[in-house]
Amino acid sequence: MQTPPPLSAFIGIKYWPTWLGLGLLYILVWMPFAVRIKVGEILGQLTYWLGKERRYITATNIAICFPELNAAEQNALVQKSFQENGIGLIETITSWVRDKDSFKSQVTMTGLDKLKAAEAEGKGVLLIGAHYSTLDFGAILLSIFHSFGVTYRPHGNALFDAFMLRGRISNCNGVFDRNDIRGAYRHLKEGNTLWYAPDQDYGPKHAVYAPFFGHPAATITAASRFARINNSPTFLVRHHRIDRSHQYEMEFIPFPDSFPGNDELNDASVINTMVENAIRHYPAQYLWMHKRFKTQPGGKPMSPYIDIATPNHRLTEKQYSQVIEGADKISELQEVYDYKLPSGLWLRQYPGTINKRSYLPHPAKLFDRHAKNLRMQGFQAITVDNFFRIPPMKLSAVTYFVPSGPLLSQLPRNLVPLKALAQFIAELHNKGFDCKNPGPDHFIVTEDSFAILDPTDFIFEGKSISLKKRRSAVINLLQNLALEKPEGDEFFSWYAKAAGLKVSEAG
């Protein structure tokens, strides 16, 4: 079980902003319910306006999980989600500092008798939860009626983490770091109730890809192992705020008798389905800001979160030497080097160092930005994995994934898919991408289409490009492909049809 450090350990200047924020929130939690709700909504709306990346992640998740909603409905759910999570922040601080018994009349419990009966069996009880905005407040409500332990992930801010840990310890009979698996197992084996939330993406280790709202999600398998260790009865715990009525509801839903089984994927699928059904009661109260679908079977290129910050690392000369150890140098152009690493990733090295904080037009960042523009418009392109800054060598580098397939220039002339290429170029132009001198070395031939090898060759104009630029690009491509006139005319015809133009306009 975790033990929080004394708050006196956090008197340094760097903690003063956190102390100020906690102090303001402490005052707020004693305000009337309606005031707390309103301030929470405002905080959530401010986060929506200021948190560009979190807004993007939330919008991506909601588009994946609620495709039946139109764009306006999805955006409304995104905003509501931020507001609900702003309210959840106020509720969280409230749960850490106020007397829990004062909230007893605000909750309706369903299935609590079944939970208590299950714990009386002496095998421990596993509660499967999820990250709703009412997570900590739901915990304080349950603690009024039933004792339980929790697992948690330490917060990056040490002072906030200490404050959070003290609050949770006051409401639970066990608080375990998520890596303290033995402590959590022991808690169950002693016949206690353990609350565990397996609905976040912790990477591929000890996880299976189970469907969540119909999309593969890396789902940790620890939940079924927890249940199996002592054959503990398992319940889903659902807790929600009922609109603005000052009331909450909490429900305990037994898992099917077949859980846990011998198939981790099936167990994870059961968990995800039950969590999904619970979320649908109040979708806006779920933590959609988390990158739930980050880890995918195809690796980072398959992640739906394209327009997020690329990790930027500072390396010593020795560390960089270790990165490129055993790599094959593939090409060199104007002090820019391409390597193929033993891991299968590619690395491009540039002169000059990347500015970490601002998006200055360093070639490495342009390489990443252009690739993201292409991928966000539905085109296959390289995926940048990491930036590296090596100040002692005055160098920068990017590691990146290259789509699989041969270059167009590597195909025998009779196997070049000209019609598909014409349609692909038309789609690029229609979506606002221009390449002044496209050639067969620009395109990778994939199983179902094409991919862009070097994204910096393609300029994104944000709207369909002009007829003049279209003609120039197509003519240059045909010349670089060395097509005869009949083939060129046929290419123009395919291109014009795909672009929605008359053949005379294209040519």
The residue ranking higher by pLDDT, 110 or 331, is: 110
Residue 335 has pLDDT above 80, yes or no: yes
Residue 183 has pLDDT above 90, yes or no: no
- CATH number belonging to domain 309-401: 3.30.200.20
Write down the pLDDT at residue 26: 84
Taking the alpha carbons at both ends of the chain, their separation in whole angstroms is 74
Q: So where are the chain's domains?
A: 7-285, 309-401, 408-506
Decide: helix, strand or coil at residue 381: strand
Mean per-residue pLDDT, 279-292: 96
> Mean of the per-residue pLDDT values for the chain?
91
- The CB density around residue 351, as the number of other CB atoms within 10 Å, is 14
Write down the pLDDT at residue 504: 60
Superfamily of domain 408-506: Transferase(Phosphotransferase) domain 1 (1.10.510.10)
The residue ranking higher by pLDDT, 115 or 162, is: 115
To the nearest whole percent, how much of the chain has pLDDT over 90?
A: 67
Residue 98 has pLDDT above 80, yes or no: yes
Residue 318 has pLDDT above 90, yes or no: yes
Residue 181 has pLDDT above 90, yes or no: no
Look at residues 146, 166, 164, 148 and name the one whose alpha carbon lies nearest to residue 156.
164
Residue 165 has pLDDT above 90, yes or no: no
To the nearest whole percent, how much of the chain has pLDDT over 70?
A: 97
Write down the pLDDT at residue 153: 81
Write down the pLDDT at residue 422: 94
Residue 211 has pLDDT above 80, yes or no: yes
Alpha carbon distance 22, 366 (integer Å): 40
Strands 248-254 and 312-314 turn out to be unpaired
Q: What is the pLDDT of residues 416-444, one digit of tens each?
A: 899 999 999 999 999 999 988 898 999 99
Write down the pLDDT at residue 320: 95
Write down the pLDDT at residue 358: 54
Alpha carbon distance 158, 162 (integer Å): 6
Write down the pLDDT at residue 184: 87
Look at residues 97, 86, 100, 83 and name the one whose alpha carbon lies nearest to residue 23.
97
Write down the pLDDT at residue 351: 92
Lowest-confidence segment of 173-182, 300-309, 369-378 by average pLDDT: 173-182
Mean per-residue pLDDT, 3-23: 84
**DSSP string for 446-470:** -SSSEEES-GGG-EE-SSPPPHHHH
Confidence band for 483, pLDDT divided at 50, 70 and 90: confident
